[in-house]
Structure 1
């Protein structure tokens, strides 16, 4: 595996630090010390801490979407099974030793203004996941697929918060039970 560029090295280390400790609590000095680069190197690649935060959120978005889709595809081939496999993948994620909640929920709490660029990246991530869930509901040919997808997203988001805030390692399994009830209320399109 080729060595990471200095920029990628900064993003990778900053992502891990932000995820574990938060955005405001993680200072530039800790990032450059952990990444083993100079302050000049950091500012050659990023004009500000905010720009670095956005880069880490964009990387996390790409990585998380790839993880989610790959894991779902390994577990199911039929669209309706993919919808329920989402919760199996959440269970895998929630039970990882490094789990510290959703980086996007955490970031949007630290950057609560909707028009803040950091918050906007979080919103785009959530919309991308919602669109993926919608695509699964549409592929399964559910009537009212959009409504079903929105309700499943509420269950998913609730499970993420429950797993993180209350350290409930069973949250995904409990959410899957609820999701199955909701899915059962929708008929397939004729």
Structure 2
């Protein structure tokens, strides 16, 4: 792939990311993406054979970017597995407080594609299964009596805080979620 070709693909993906987050996936047309990327439909379809393929690439990109960033942030904040479970909510709180916060791309995508058989919904569900698995591993390492149950409870707090903050900005929900996480972790880990 030439540099110009890679640049065009990245410009298209960047434009789609920005538009999908601010306008929604279904509301964003190919013409808007092409215009924002300063390219042509021919170029878009050269790199992404359909809008659905572009949506999949967008979600895969969000997934890879999230895990690289998130795990690094959590590991920088805490050393022990128990402390990392709490650090998740510190990192989460900073994310929710970001003025550019537009909600979770996976929650938003699954809402727009509610059919559980649709690839977009499946990618979104897979992201949160991976997230829950990450929390389950940390909970197990921390000595939780029931790591999967604790992880499920913490994931519910995490996801609920995202939706609450998206519905009402600056609601303090991140602090509430962390306080609830403190109690759940204290009760679930010996």
TM-score bracket, shorter-length normalisation:
over 0.9
Paired residue for 2:28? Answer: 26
Query: 1:97 is paired with a residue of what secondary structure?
Result: coil
Cα contact 2:86–2:182 (8 A) shared by 1: yes
Matches within 5 A, 1:92-103: 92-103=94-105
Encode CA deviations 1:106-159: one digit per residue, 9 max, x unaligned.
Answer: 110110000001111101111111111111111212111111101111111111
Paired residue total: 187
Q: Work out the CA distance in 2 between the residues paired with 1:50 and 1:89.
A: 31
Encode CA deviations 1:78-132: one digit per residue, 9 max, x unaligned.
Answer: 1111000111111110111210111111110110000001111101111111111
Unpaired runs of 5+ in structure 2? none
Paired residue for 2:176? Answer: 174
1:66, distance to aligned residue in structure 2 (A) = 1.6
Matches within 5 A, 1:19-98: 19-98=21-100
Which 10-residue stretch deviates more, 136-145 or 106-115?
136-145
* Greater than 6 Å deviation, 4+ residue runs: none
Q: Work out the CA distance in 1 between the residues paired with 2:174 and 2:78.
A: 17
Q: Work out the CA distance in 2 between the residues paired with 1:157 and 1:171.
A: 11
RMSD of aligned alpha carbons: 1.4
TM-score (norm 2): 0.94
Cα contact 2:97–2:170 (8 A) shared by 1: no
Unpaired runs of 5+ in structure 1? none
Paired residue for 1:158? Answer: 160
Per residue, is there more helix in 1 or in 2? 2
Paired residue for 1:15? Answer: 17
Which 10-residue stretch deviates more, 84-93 or 135-144?
135-144
Cα contact 1:94–1:169 (8 A) shared by 2: no
Q: Work out the CA distance in 2 between the residues paired with 1:169 and 1:71.
A: 23
Paired residue for 1:141? Answer: 143
TM-score (norm 1): 0.94
